[in-house]
Amino acid sequence: MEFKDLEIFQLVAEKGTVTEVAKELNYVQSNITSRIQKLEVELNTPLFNRHRRGMTLTPEGKNLLSYSKKILLLTEEMKRAVLNKNEPIGKLEIGTVETVYHLPNILTSYMKSYQSVDLSLITGVTEKLEQKVLDYKLDGAFITASNIHPDLESYEVFDEELVLISNSPHLKLGELEGIPFLCFRKGCGYRARLETWYQDQNISPQKVMEFGTLETIIRSVSMGLGVSFVPKSAVAHLEQSGTIHCHSLPSEYSKVKTVFIRRADSYLTATIEKFIETIQHNRQIV
């Protein structure tokens, strides 16, 4: 069994068709098919169900996918460790929620110190990012602290106060039911906090509008489209200018922690170790 066979197997499992994988790798389709068949012969079991719309994993294929992810991750970590034990180098794939206000400071500080690292960043909601780290698709992620999965290790980044924002200085509780609630999609920790407060206050907003970026949410609130729940640090300058107005909620709803997570069983390479050190250093000076 070759590592390349496992890589191809994972891609076919992800894409669902040999055609797409062949295009991505610039291989002929017969090469992809033969490598999958070779794996099936070696393991003496079918790994995919073949049908007109593509290929889906059999139960045995799902088991192999779980192991192959771990094998390929360890292979990559082995290469990093052997290449350089002390100096960060290679790829670093990080996820983050939209609202980590101090993230640019962390990234700038890290990249200035370790220019050999190829760092990439994706955004998402807490729930999705946590799953990507668990699935070995990300080296780590900044999320809103909640019930952290036992397979994850977490590091505190900073504490945050969430505030309800509107374009009116005199927002009344009884008005909220008729005002659209602007938020990120399900899985966002901030959204969950405000939804809990709404439920406890017996408020049922007539309309919930989902957005993809914090900037769009804040601009929409400033124009009177609705209300939202965001970190106070992200809107302090707009509150000072009178563009939006902040309304405090009880601490059990508004006090949150942002943490950085990684898989507890993953090898701590110099690349990720120095990134964590950079986070902790920035936390001290914020």
| Structural domains in the chain plus CATH codes | 3-81 (1.10.10.10), 83-159+257-284 (3.40.190.10), 160-255 (3.40.190.10)
Lowest mean pLDDT among 29-43, 82-96, 212-226: 82-96
- C-alpha–C-alpha distance, residues 175 and 221, integer Å: 15
pLDDT in tens, 149-200: 999 999 998 888 899 999 988 888 888 988 999 998 888 888 888 999 999 9
Q: Is 257 helix (H, G, I), strand (E, B) or coil?
A: strand
Longest dimension (CA), the chain: 71
- For the chain, what percent of residues have pLDDT higher than 70? 96
Contact (Cβ atoms closer than 8 angstroms) between residue 171 and residue 227: yes
**More reliable by pLDDT, 100 or 281:** 281
Q: Any bridge partners for residue 210, and if so which?
A: 183
Nearest 5 degrees, angle CA 206-CA 209-CA 214? 140
Q: Is the pLDDT at 101 greater than 80, yes or no?
A: no
pLDDT mean across residues, the chain: 87
Residues contacting 209, CB < 8 A, separation 6+: 180, 181, 182, 183, 220, 225, 226
pLDDT in tens, 15-53: 888 888 888 888 898 989 998 999 899 999 999 998 888
Predicted confidence at residue 218, as pLDDT, reads 92
Predicted confidence at residue 111, as pLDDT, reads 92
Contact (Cβ atoms closer than 8 angstroms) between residue 197 and residue 249: yes
Long-range Cβ contacts of 69-72 (<8 Å, 24+ apart): 69/10, 69/135, 69/136, 70/136, 71/3, 71/6, 72/3, 72/6, 72/7, 72/10
pTM of the model: 0.64
pLDDT in tens, 245-278: 999 999 999 998 889 999 998 878 888 999 999 9
